[in-house]
Amino acid sequence: MPPIETLHLGASAPDLARAAGLLAAGQLVAFPTETVYGLGADARNGRAVAAIYAAKGRPSFNPLIVHLADTGAAQRHVAWTDCAQRLADAFWPGPLTLVLPLRPGHGISDLVTAGLDTLAVRVPAHPTARALLREFGGPVAAPSANPSGRISPTTAEHVLAGLSGRIAAVVDDGPCAVGLESTIVGLDGAPTLLRPGGVAVEEIEAVLGHALIRHDAGGTVSAPGQLASHYAPAERVRLNAEAPRPGEVFLGFGPMDCDLNLSPAGDLEEAAANLFGHLHALDARARPIAVAPIPDHGLGAAINDRLRRAAAPRD
C-alpha cells in the first residue's frame, strides 16, 4: 500500500462530520473511546473492513467488535436476550462488549465476524465516540488502533506512531480514561467471560446474580484471536518482579522505587488508565521491562491478563 496522508482531526462538530464522511466513503478513521483508541471502518463495507486488517497487519481469523451509538442500534444486528438487556442497562454506554447471535438481515460484513455466526457489540461511553457514531449513523467495526500484536493506544500520538500513513484520519480527543479494552462477555449460551477488561468481573456477576463461566489460560479458546502473545512491547517483559535486575527498567505499583509507577497509591483504576502509556514509555528506552506484582481482584484481573500477554514467549 502506498502511504497516504493521515489527517489529525479534533473533536469539533465540523471535524466529526468530516470523520463520519470518511467512514461513509469506506476510509479508516481512528477515534477515542473510554477504553483505548479504536480503528474504525463501516462494518457493512467488506472492503473497508479488509483495510483494517491490512493497516494493522492482523491475522484475518480475529473477529472485530462493532460499535454502536445506543442499545437500539445494537438490537438491530443481534438476537437480543434478557441477560443482554440487564447487562446493557447496568453497563452501557461503557466498557462492556456482548457477544450474541447475529440476526437475519444484520447487514454486517462477514469479514467482521471472521465467518462466525455471533457478533461482538458495544456502546462506548466516550462522548466523542458517541457523537461520531451518531453522525455516521451506522455500525462501526473497530479493533484497537495499533499494529497487530503491539501495545494498545491510549492517545492519538500512540495511534500516529503506529499507523500514520496507513489510515485516513485520527480524531484526537486526549488520553483514554479507562485505558484497558472492554470486558467481553459471551451470551451465546451460558454467560461466559471471554476477556477481562474495563468492567470488573465481580460487578458483572453481581448484576447477573451468578458466576460467569471462565476459561483458564490454557483452556479452550472461544474468543478467536485470544492469542497468548499480544499487547507486546518490543522488549522482554518479566512479571511479579520484587526488584529490577541489572539492565532492566522497572514498572512499579504501590509505594516503591521504580522507573515509572502505575499507581503510587496502589489504586487499580489509576493503574489501568496508565498501563499502556507506561508500557509505551518504558519500551522506548529499549531495555527489558520488569513489572511489580499487581493484585488480581477488580480491574487488577484485566491488568494481569494484559501483562501476561505482554510477557508471553514469542516466535
- Based on CB atoms, which residue is closest to ligand TXA, 36 or 200? 36
Which residues from 128-147 bind Mg ion, rule CB under 5 A?
A: 144
Interface residue with ligand TXA, options 6, 97, 128, 261 (CB under 6 A) = 97
- Does 23 participate in binding ligand TXA (rule CB under 6 A)? no
Note whether 260 and 252 are within 8 A (CB): yes
Interface residue with ligand TXA, options 11, 15, 27, 35 (CB under 6 A) = 35
Interface residue with ligand TXA, options 43, 98, 99, 273 (CB under 6 A) = 99
Distance between first and last Cα of the chain: 26
The helix or strand, by DSSP H or E, that contains position 299, with its residue range, turns out to be: helix 299-311
Cell output for 38:
479504536
Residue nearest to Mg ion (CB): 144
Binding mask 145-174 for ligand TXA (x = CB under 6 A): ------------------------------
DSSP at 78: B
Q: Where are the alpha helices (DSSP H) in 1-101?
A: 13-24, 46-56, 71-75, 82-91
Which residues from 256-295 bind ligand TXA, rule CB under 6 A?
A: none
Note whether 141 and 55 are within 8 A (CB): no
Q: What is the CA radius of gyration of the chain?
A: 19
Note whether 180 and 275 are within 8 A (CB): yes
- Does 121 participate in binding ligand TXA (rule CB under 6 A)? no
- Does 33 participate in binding ligand TXA (rule CB under 6 A)? yes
Q: Where are the alpha helices (DSSP H) in 147-223?
A: 156-163, 201-208
- Based on CB atoms, which residue is closest to ligand TXA, 27 or 97? 97
- Does 225 participate in binding ligand TXA (rule CB under 6 A)? yes
DSSP at 271: H
Q: Which does 38 bind (CB under 5 to 8 A by kind): ligand TXA, Mg ion, none?
A: ligand TXA
Q: Closest distance between Mg ion and the C-beta of residue 28, in Å?
A: 15
The alpha carbon of 264 is separated from its chain's Cα centroid by a whole number of angstroms, namely 25
What is the three-class DSSP state of 9? strand
- Does 142 participate in binding ligand TXA (rule CB under 6 A)? yes
Where do contacts with ligand TXA occur on this chain (CB under 6 A)?
Answer: 33, 35-36, 38, 62-65, 95, 97, 99, 113, 116, 118-120, 122, 142-144, 181-182, 184, 194-195, 223-226
